[in-house]
């Protein structure tokens, strides 16, 4: 019994140390630009293993040198209530759960109708920009309830320690926009051969629409969905509120 209790105490102590490390890392990012994120490092390692070479395009640019068009497009596409929520949009999460449950139910029925054509349902996350930053900056790419709980706690911490503008600045400078392409400046150069400060509304909207599946859309730049969705986001951008 004492042995079990000792192990439990060690696990709790390790968890507390990890959370303390995360909090200190967030505190540092309030004034120091992060050189890399956990997601970027894992992706760089994956690419190096798969292709035998390191591919990493990134150039940090301050908030003022990122086009307002891109800021508005990303907010309109990813998190239209960004400036108002406290890091988590519970309504969006609830809707995502309902949509995922419905998708799983439909997928379960599909084999009876068309045997041999089953596909895994597309999972909708409902994550805010702050949650995405928490996940990319500090956590692994694993998907389980414990990691999701960590994401929620870290999102709450980010909102308390950093301004909305700083959260958006770090997010736009570190998010993936293609295989080995990270941040607004690298994406603008990669897709449009211009600086992030020069993006037009439509160019910004195209980049924003890529975010859920950047490596996929990098390979299908002429996707009808990409063009259609970019048009929709362009029309919604004027209503997006910037921090």
pTM for this predicted structure:
0.84
Count of structural domains, the chain = 2
- Statement to judge: residues 187 and 140 lie in one domain: yes
Give me 230's structure tokens. 């970019």
pLDDT at 148: 78
- Statement to judge: residues 171 and 234 lie in one domain: yes
pLDDT at 140: 66
Domain that holds residue 107: 90-125
- Statement to judge: residues 106 and 69 lie in one domain: no
* Mean pLDDT, the chain, integer: 84
Which has more pLDDT, 164 or 121? 164
pLDDT of residue 111 exceeding 60: no
Q: What is the mean pLDDT of residues 145-149?
A: 74
pLDDT at 51: 79
116-140 per-position pLDDT tens digit: 444 444 444 568 999 999 999 988 6
Which has more pLDDT, 120 or 107? 107
pLDDT at 99: 63
102 CB contacts (<8 Å, ≥6 apart)? none
10-59 per-position pLDDT tens digit: 656 666 777 788 888 899 999 999 989 999 999 888 888 887 777 889 99
170-204 per-position pLDDT tens digit: 999 999 999 999 999 999 999 999 999 999 999 99
Measure the CA angle with vertex 41, ends 53 and 14; round to 5°.
145
- Say which CATH number the domain at 73 has: 1.10.3810.10
Which has more pLDDT, 71 or 51? 71
pLDDT of residue 2 exceeding 80: no
Positive or negative torsion for Cα 163, 166, 170, 172: positive
- Statement to judge: residues 238 and 164 lie in one domain: yes
Q: Give residue 115's pLDDT band: very low, low, confident or very high (50, 70, 90).
A: very low
Instruction: Please report, to the nearest 10 degrees, the dihedral formed by the alpha carbons of residues 183, 188, 193, 198 taken in order.
Output: -130
pLDDT of residue 70 exceeding 80: yes
Which of 217, 177, 222 lies closest to 199 in space, CA to CA? 177
Q: Give residue 144's pLDDT band: very low, low, confident or very high (50, 70, 90).
A: low
Cβ pair 184, 196 in contact under 8 A:
yes
- Statement to judge: residues 183 and 240 lie in one domain: yes
Q: Give residue 89's pLDDT band: very low, low, confident or very high (50, 70, 90).
A: confident
Instruction: Please indicate, yes or no, if residue 33 is contained in any of the structural domains.
Output: no
């Amino acid at each position: 019994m004492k042995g079990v209790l000792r192990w439990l105490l060690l696990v709790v102590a390790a968890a507390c140390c990890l959370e303390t490390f995360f909090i200190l890392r967030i505190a540092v990012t309030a004034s120091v630009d992060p050189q890399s994120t956990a997601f970027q490092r894992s992706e760089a390692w994956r690419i190096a293993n798969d292709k035998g070479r390191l591919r990493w395009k990134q150039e940090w640019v301050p908030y003022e040198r990122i086009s307002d068009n891109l800021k508005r497009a990303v907010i309109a596409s990813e998190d239209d209530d960004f400036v108002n929520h406290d890091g988590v949009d519970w309504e969006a999460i609830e809707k995502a759960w309902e949509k995922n449950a419905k998708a799983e139910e439909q997928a379960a029925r599909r084999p009876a109708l068309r045997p041999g054509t089953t596909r895994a349902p597309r999972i909708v996350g409902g994550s805010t920009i702050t949650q995405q930053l928490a996940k990319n900056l500090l956590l692994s790419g694993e998907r389980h309830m414990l990691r999701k709980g960590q994401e929620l706690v870290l999102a709450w911490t980010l909102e308390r320690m950093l301004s909305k503008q700083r959260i958006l600045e770090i997010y736009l400078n570190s998010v993936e926009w293609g295989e080995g392409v990270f941040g607004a400046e690298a994406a603008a150069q990669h897709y449009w051969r211009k600086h992030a400060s020069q993006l037009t509304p439509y160019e910004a909207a195209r980049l924003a629409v890529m975010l859920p599946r950047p490596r996929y859309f990098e390979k299908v730049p002429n996707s009808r969905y990409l063009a259609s969705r970019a048009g929709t986001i362009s029309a919604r951008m004027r209503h997006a509120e910037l921090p």
